[in-house]
Amino acid sequence: MTDDLLEENQLQVPEGYTRMEWFQGFGRQIGPLYQRDPGDGSYTRAFPVCEHHTNGMGNCHGGMLMAFADMAFGHAVSLHANRYWVTVRLLTDFVSGAKKGEWVEGTAEITGESDGFYNVKGRIWVGDRTIMTGTALFKGMGERPKRK
Amino acid sequence: MTDDLLEENQLQVPEGYTRMEWFQGFGRQIGPLYQRDPGDGSYTRAFPVCEHHTNGMGNCHGGMLMAFADMAFGHAVSLHANRYWVTVRLLTDFVSGAKKGEWVEGTAEITGESDGFYNVKGRIWVGDRTIMTGTALFKGMGERPKRK
């Protein structure tokens, strides 16, 4: 077999997204994850629902959506404050399901900041369809290295 | 190299736990997961924090704890009502971290039931240390095959 079939079967990554090169730990295990970061403070993270993300019904597992919410919402703190952070509380509301092969996107915005804690409100969607809404409380940790 | 080293390096699974033989999807991807189900309605689920569960600090990733919460808390509905279920809402409070190599356990109980929806209260711990507390709302779906 030549590589032609494999090349044609490659994921068509939507414009502006780059793959997050996580090579270890949980980020690698549940990847691939993608990020779009135009530099104006807005951002989205995304992943294609693969077989290894599915539940018994062949849809994206709720646990995967929650793990993605943590990563997608928390990034608001990284961009806003340039700090490392830990999750203190996360509330996720499941609005709709995501099917295998769908491109799931998410983002969040800072809604409050006090004593080093950050309130965040986020949303996860596929196309026009909201998959999950949520709020989170993150605790800011040490400063991150400056981004290039 | 003989297999002796590998045999000695096997995980010592605490008494009463059996491995959940998930062979596909997200359950397999984030496994291994274990379950203790004495048959009296109580249960615990568990996992050992492995390299593929870790965050950048080498502790268990918050996303993994949330995914585990979904699986550990939702099982209360399976046992209580013998029904399939989907997650509607999950709230997780991060109390403490779990280190690589630690044995993380979780369980939940039904606190309310109305119109096919189940309220659940759960806890996740390592030894005497609470890692996470949470509440969830699950929607009951079709009946499950009877358990043996």
The interface pTM score, or ipTM, of the predicted complex is 0.88
Chain B neighbors of A71, CB-CB under 8 A: 63
Identify which of A66, A93, A94 has the shortest CB distance to residue B66. Answer: A66
How far A63 CA lies from chain B's nearest CA (Å)? 4
What gap in Å lies between CA A45 and CA A34, rounded to an integer? 6
Name the residue among A89, A52, A45, A50 with its Cα closest to residue A68: A45
Contact B94 A71 (CB under 8 A): no
Cα–Cα distance list, A66 to A74, B34, B38, B68 (Å): 12, 21, 29, 10
Name the residue among B66, B68, B133, B121 with its Cα closest to residue B96: B133
Whether A148 has a pLDDT exceeding 60, the answer reads no
Contact A88 B88 (CB under 8 A): no
In a domain, A99, yes or no: yes
Identify which of B55, B70, B88 has the shortest CB distance to residue A26. Answer: B55
In a domain, A80, yes or no: yes
What pLDDT is attached to residue B11?
82
Name the residue among B90, B31, B17 with its Cα closest to residue A30: B31
Chain B neighbors of A55, CB-CB under 8 A: 25-27
In a domain, B1, yes or no: no
Choose the weakest-confidence range: A40-44, A93-97, B133-137. Answer: A40-44
The number of domains in chain A is 1
pLDDT band at A145; cut points 50, 70, 90: confident
Domain of A85, in residue numbers: 16-142
Q: How many CB atoms lie within 10 A of CB A56?
A: 12
In a domain, B45, yes or no: yes
pLDDT digits (tens, 9 = 90+) for A43-53: 999 999 999 99
How far B16 CA lies from chain A's nearest CA (Å)? 25
Tell me the two tokens of residue A63.
């646990």
What pLDDT is attached to residue B145?
78
What gap in Å lies between CA B137 and CA B120, rounded to an integer? 6
Q: How many CB atoms lie within 10 A of CB B31?
A: 17
Determine the Cα angle at A31 with ends B22 and A40, to 5°. 150
What pairs with residue B113 in β-bridges?
A: B118
Return the residue matching tokens 């068509």: A12
Average pLDDT over every residue of A43-72? 95
Instruction: List the pLDDT tens digit at each of the 148 positions of chain B.
Output: 555 666 667 788 999 999 998 888 999 999 999 999 998 889 999 999 999 999 988 999 999 999 999 999 999 999 988 888 999 999 999 999 999 999 999 999 999 999 999 999 999 999 999 999 999 999 999 888 776 5
What gap in Å lies between CA A57 and CA B145, rounded to an integer? 15
Identify which of A24, A26, A88 has the shortest CB distance to residue B94. Answer: A88
Identify which of B55, B70, B94 has the shortest CB distance to residue A66. Answer: B70
B16 Ramachandran zone, left/alpha/beta (phi>0; psi -120 to 50) = left
Chain B neighbors of A70, CB-CB under 8 A: 61-63, 66
What pLDDT is attached to residue B100?
95
Chain A residue at shortest CA distance from B25: A52
pTM: 0.91
In a domain, B5, yes or no: no
Mention every residue, 6+ apart, whose C-beta is less than 8 A from residue A111: A119, A120, A121, A135
Chain A neighbors of B89, CB-CB under 8 A: 91-94
In a domain, B4, yes or no: no
Identify the CATH number of the domain in which residue B64 sits.
Answer: 3.10.129.10
In a domain, A36, yes or no: yes
How far A22 CA lies from chain B's nearest CA (Å)? 10
What gap in Å lies between CA B15 and CA A9, rounded to an integer? 46
In a domain, B53, yes or no: yes
What gap in Å lies between CA B104 and CA B116, rounded to an integer? 30
Whole-angstrom Cα Rg for chain A: 16
pLDDT band at A93; cut points 50, 70, 90: very high
What pLDDT is attached to residue A143?
86
Say yes or no: A28 contacts chain B, CB-CB below 8 A: yes
Contact B86 A54 (CB under 8 A): no
